[in-house]
Amino acid sequence: AQSVAQPEDQVNVAEGNPLTVKCTYSVSGNPYLFWYVQYPNRGLQFLLKYITGDNLVKGSYGFEAEFNKSQTSFHLKKPSALVSDSALYFCAVKPGGSYIPTFGRGTSLIVHP
Amino acid sequence: EAQVTQNPRYLITVTGKKLTVTCSQNMNHEYMSWYRQDPGLGLRQIYYSMNVEVTDKGDVPEGYKVSRKEKRNFPLILESPSPNQTSLYFCASSLGGEQYFGPGTRLTVT
């Protein structure tokens, strides 16, 4: 069975500072990894994905994530946080060839002015 | 505009009164799914469908039904809602990779 862990319920960072939102996973076979963002009163929006290739993937709004196979991690990063980045972030994983993703519990990112 | 729509967006109902939440996508996606979002639990999949007339249970299917008679529509049916089904529901569609989510339906069962 696949699983996703987001070890931090909340991450606080000052505007302009780099941010990291952590995600580790467990899955059989090659993983498809995703990050989504949810703004208040909105549905989830796709940010980026890793399927194969370069371990560093770039996505929307200046976010990037690094796939680390040995540590089974897929941390979300941004070099300089904005107040408008404050939202709920979800990591998700599914095995290649499967239609069934598993989501983490979400991490609330708060960027302080 | 490519989108997933859900209706209604908000619904307050009473225990036992059957209801349907509609979901429609205009992207010709084969895969559609329903999730519920509860505080501290993240998103949990209720049902999914890989194509017309093909549906399967997700992690928390009890108390829910779905149908997929057309590719674009995937309604969620609660035949006898109970208070523990009070939640925020999301429909999503996909070609097999990233998912596109609807705006959500906030359901309250009293």
Residues 6-65 of A with CB under 8 A from B: 32, 34, 36, 41-46, 49, 51
Cβ distance of A45 and B101 shorter than 8 Å: yes
Quick check: B40 and A100 CB within 8 A? no
Q: Are B35 and B92 in contact (CB under 8 A)?
A: yes
**Predicted pLDDT at A67:** 95
Ramachandran assignment for B79, one of left (phi > 0), alpha (psi -120 to 50 degrees), beta (any other):
alpha
* pLDDT value, residue B19: 97
CB-nearest to B102 from A36, A41, A43 is A43
B40 falls in which pLDDT band (50, 70, 90)? confident
Angstrom distance (rounded) from CA B34 to CA B49: 9
pLDDT at B51: 92
Residue B7 · residue B106 · CB < 8 Å: no
From chain B, the residues in CB contact with A34 under 8 A are 98-99
| Residue in A with minimal Cα distance to B51 | A99
Does residue B8 have a cis peptide bond before it, meaning omega lies within 30 degrees of 0? yes
Instruction: State CA B32 to chain mean position distance.
Output: 9
pLDDT of residue A42: 86
d(CA A59, CA A65): 8
Residue B110 pLDDT: 97
Out of A32, A100, A106, the one facing B42 most closely (by C-beta) is A106
Q: Which DSSP category does B40 fall into? A: T
pLDDT above 80 for B32: yes
| 3-state class (DSSP) for residue B64 | coil
Task: Quick: pLDDT tens for B5-19.
Answer: 999 999 999 999 999
- Binned at pLDDT 50, 70 and 90, residue B41 comes out as confident
Shortest Cα distance, chain A CAs vs residue B31, angstroms = 7
> Nearest Cβ partner of A44 from B31, B50, B101?
B101
Q: If DSSP states are collapsed to H, E and C, what string results for chain A?
A: CCEEECCCCEEEEECCCCEEECCEEECCCCEEEEEEEECCCCCEEEEEEECCCCCEEECHHHCEEEEECCCCEEEEEECCCCHHHCEEEEEEEEECCCCCCEECCCEEEEEEC
Cα nearest neighbour of A98 on chain B: B96
Q: Are the C-beta atoms of B100 and B93 separated by less than 8 Å?
A: yes
Q: What is the mean pLDDT of residues B51-61?
A: 93
* pLDDT surpasses 80 at B47: yes
Query: CB of A24 within 8 A of CB of A4?
Result: yes
Average of per-residue pLDDT values in chain B: 95
pLDDT given for residue B21 in this prediction: 98
Chain A touched by B42 (CB under 8 Å): yes
**A99 and chain B in contact, CB less than 8 A:** yes
pLDDT < 70: residue spans in chain A? none
The per-residue pLDDT for A39 is 93
